């Protein structure tokens, strides 16, 4: 009996042991599953944090990079300004004054730096920029002592156009009331300080004195409509007024590159089809082929312009520098770099530098 009972007891104990082992294994599996879930949660959280950090880093780089490039463009443009001045001085020393309607870029194995608004593209230490060179004499002179004559030129070929004559008189009176010292309008259509304030809240305009900066003409109603701003928002259609301290007067005929169709029609007497042919010729000159105007524009048109524009080079030059969209071959750049634009007007100096040690600038504008 004892042996039988003892055997039964051992069987019973063995059964309990097996059950405990199964229970232990189940607990271990559950614990392992919980640990695995915890590890997976940590991995997912870490991955999410890493992804967020990368996204923030990319976003910051995307935001900061254009800002850095814009700041760097200040130095690029100033460096280019110095280089361009040297290139123009070297150009003048080699070739002197040339006729801009006849000179042909194809005749040379190097680029020419003439005031003909031809776009030049250059790589400045890894940054592509485009610049144009132009004579500093814009079409219309509206200085304090010449604005009436400057506007009257628009009647050269509009004797029967009463509306044009009336508009010119209207603009002349507007300018006079803007610069004179009294507060009495010339007529009912003109403005003095009270009218400027009531209509445009333009106090303290007008200043009732001579205009010293051509961009101030933009404050006179209708004048900016008649003389539209250029692509940079400048009144480049109106001739620059140099600072009085410079002791320089910009006079003479304007160059052909800065005139508008209205000027060509009313002041120079070109017909609409002739203006269109001239514009097409300028486009061909500005192309990669650099076709001279004498090869693309009828000689009669160029002769008609002879009394109204200048074809020679002068020492007062306007340079415009802007970020490049195309390379020197005219192919679009794969990556365009944002940057500032710089426009400056100065008197050209010998290649060795200004004798006085100072280069006079009449305009220096960032955009």
Q: In tens digits, what is the pLDDT along the chain, a chain of 367 residues?
A: 444 445 545 545 555 655 555 655 555 555 555 656 666 677 777 777 777 777 666 665 556 666 677 778 889 999 999 999 999 999 889 888 777 776 677 778 888 898 988 889 999 998 899 999 998 888 888 887 788 988 988 887 765 655 788 888 889 988 998 888 888 888 777 788 887 777 777 777 777 888 888 888 888 878 888 888 888 888 888 998 888 777 777 878 888 888 888 889 888 889 999 999 999 999 988 887 888 888 899 999 999 888 888 888 888 899 999 999 887 777 788 777 778 899 999 988 888 877 778 888 888 999 8
Asked if 90 and 285 touch (Cβ cutoff 8 Å), the reply is no
Tell me, what's the pLDDT at 131?
96
Is residue 65 one of the residues assigned to a domain?
no
| Residue 182: domain span | 71-366
Is residue 56 one of the residues assigned to a domain?
no
Tell me, what's the pLDDT at 50?
74
Is residue 127 one of the residues assigned to a domain?
yes
Q: What region, left, alpha or beta, does residue 283 occupy, with left being phi > 0 and alpha being psi -120 to 50 degrees?
A: alpha
Is residue 342 one of the residues assigned to a domain?
yes
- Give the whole-angstrom CA distance, residue 260 versus residue 233: 15
Tell me, what's the pLDDT at 2?
47
Is residue 320 one of the residues assigned to a domain?
yes
* DSSP string covering 334-365: SSPPP---EEEEEE---TT--TTS---EEEEE
- Give the whole-angstrom CA distance, residue 20 versus residue 42: 33
Tell me, what's the pLDDT at 85?
95
Residue 13 CB neighbour total at 10 angstroms: 10
Is residue 23 one of the residues assigned to a domain?
no
Q: Are strands 120-124 and 127-135 parallel, antiparallel or unpaired?
A: antiparallel
How far, rounded to the nearest angstrom, does the alpha carbon of residue 303 sit from its chain's CA centroid? 34
Is residue 5 one of the residues assigned to a domain?
no
State the total domains in the chain: 1
Cis peptide before 206 (omega within 30 of 0): yes
The full length of the chain comes to: 367
């Amino acid at each position: 009996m004892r042996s039988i009972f003892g055997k039964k007891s051992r069987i019973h104990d063995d059964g309990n042991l097996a059950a405990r082992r199964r229970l232990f294994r189940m607990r271990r599996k559950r614990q392992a599953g919980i640990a695995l879930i915890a590890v997976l949660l940590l991995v997912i959280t870490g991955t999410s944090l890493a992804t967020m950090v990368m996204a923030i880093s990319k976003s910051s780089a995307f935001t900061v990079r254009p800002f850095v490039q814009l700041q760097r463009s200040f130095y690029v443009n100033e460096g280019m300004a110095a280089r361009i001045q040297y290139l123009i001085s070297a150009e003048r020393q080699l070739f002197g004054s040339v006729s801009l309607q006849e000179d042909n870029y194809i005749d040379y194995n190097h680029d020419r730096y003439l005031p003909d608004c031809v776009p030049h593209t250059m790589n400045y230490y890894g940054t592509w920029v485009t610049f144009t060179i132009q004579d500093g004499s814009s079409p219309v002179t509206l200085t304090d002592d010449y604005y009436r004559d400057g506007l009257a030129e628009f009647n050269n070929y509009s004797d029967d156009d009463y509306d044009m004559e009336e508009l010119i008189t209207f603009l002349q009176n507007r300018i006079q009331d803007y610069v004179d010292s009294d507060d009495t309008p010339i007529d009912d259509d003109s403005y003095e300080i009270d009218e400027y304030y009531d209509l445009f809240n333009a106090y303290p305009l007008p200043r009732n004195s001579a205009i010293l900066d051509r961009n101030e003409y933009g404050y006179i109603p209708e004048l900016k409509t008649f003389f539209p701003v250029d692509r940079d928002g400048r009144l480049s259609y109106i001739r620059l007024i140099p600072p009085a301290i410079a002791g320089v007067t910009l006079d003479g005929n304007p160059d052909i590159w800065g005139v508008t169709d209205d000027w060509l029609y009313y002041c120079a007497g070109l017909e609409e089809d002739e203006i269109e042919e001239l514009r097409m010729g300028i486009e061909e000159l500005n192309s990669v082929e650099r076709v001279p105007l004498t090869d693309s524009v009828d000689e009669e048109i160029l002769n008609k312009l002879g009394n109204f524009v200048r074809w020679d080079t002068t020492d007062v030059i306007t340079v415009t520098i802007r970020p490049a969209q195309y390379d020197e071959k005219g192919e679009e750049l794969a990556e365009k770099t944002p940057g500032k634009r710089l426009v400056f007007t100065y008197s050209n100096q010998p290649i060795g530098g200004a004798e006085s040690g100072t280069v006079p600038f009449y305009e220096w504008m960032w955009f």
